[in-house]
Amino acid sequence: MSMNERPLKSNEWVAQKLHLKLTSGELSPGDKLPSVVDLAAEYGVGRSTIREALSALKAKGLLDIRQGGGTYVKAPPDEPAFAQEAWLDRADSLLQLLDVRKVLETGCAALAAKHRSEADLEALDATLNEMADRLDDEIFGEQADVRLHEQIAGATHNPMLMELMKTLSERLHESMRDTRSLWFYAEHRSASRLLDEHRSIVSAIRGRDEALASSRMGQHLAKVEQVLRDKTGIL
């Protein structure tokens, strides 16, 4: 029954929805949007509301509205990547990047313990099992690692944290591209130990123990950082 507890005004809501379709690639530059009337029907709002949303997106340079012709997706203003994530550019060093990661990941672990659903647990288990099955596959191991941390962020069911983690993770991997790669999974022993740590984190999330999940994640990241320190000169 409690269907509408929307903190956002309808026009903002529509604008966000459309903005998502633009950035997520569901709509590509050059594509034509449905007519105002159709959009109004689709989102269950009036035409004025749609027009306000479109005007806002147009003001941001995302849309091209042609009278009588329709509404089209404009080519992104060239440098979206740079300006978009301004906060990331504040990083003076990899060390700071890792600190932010620690903050976000421990927080995610705690929130995941609080909000995780059964489906989240299943997904986490599946990833853990895959990791166990292919302990010696270095490339796969790293991908699964990334995926596991993504899933933990996903288990918070908080879109902002997921976005933040995703962006940070990309930047982190980019920063370490040269040095990181596979050293981490080079030994069976390391991979095995990592798996144990991951399991214990997931276990805490399963048990809904926020503090434990957070601290285990913290310790895990500290160890990763330590290895990074020992095996490479980048810190």
Alpha helices of 44-187 — where are they, by DSSP H?
47-59, 80-84, 94-115, 118-133, 138-155, 159-175
91 binds DNA (CB under 7 A): no
49 binds DNA (CB under 7 A): yes
83 binds a second copy (CB under 8 A): yes
34 binds a second copy (CB under 8 A): no
Is the distance from CB of 110 to CB of 204 less than 8 angstroms?
no
Beta-strand pair 63-66/70-73: antiparallel
Residue 9 or 188 with smaller CB distance to a second copy: 9
Give the residue, chosen from 110, 124, 152, 221, that forms a contact with a second copy under the rule CB under 8 A: 110
List the structure tokens of 156. Answer: 């918070």
Residue 51 or 134 with smaller CB distance to a second copy: 51
30 binds DNA (CB under 7 A): no
Report the C-alpha gap between 209 and 110 in whole angstroms.
8
Is the distance from CB of 125 to CB of 219 less than 8 angstroms?
no
Q: How many residues does the chain have?
A: 235
147 binds, among a second copy, DNA, none (CB under 5 to 8 A by kind): none
Shortest Cβ 90–a second copy spacing (Å): 4
Report the C-alpha gap between 235 and 223 in whole angstroms.
14
Q: Of 8-16, 104-112, 189-197, 218-226, which segment contacts DNA by CB under 7 A?
A: 8-16
* Contacts to DNA by CB under 7 A: 7, 9-11, 33, 35-38, 40, 44-49, 51-52, 54, 65-71, 178-179
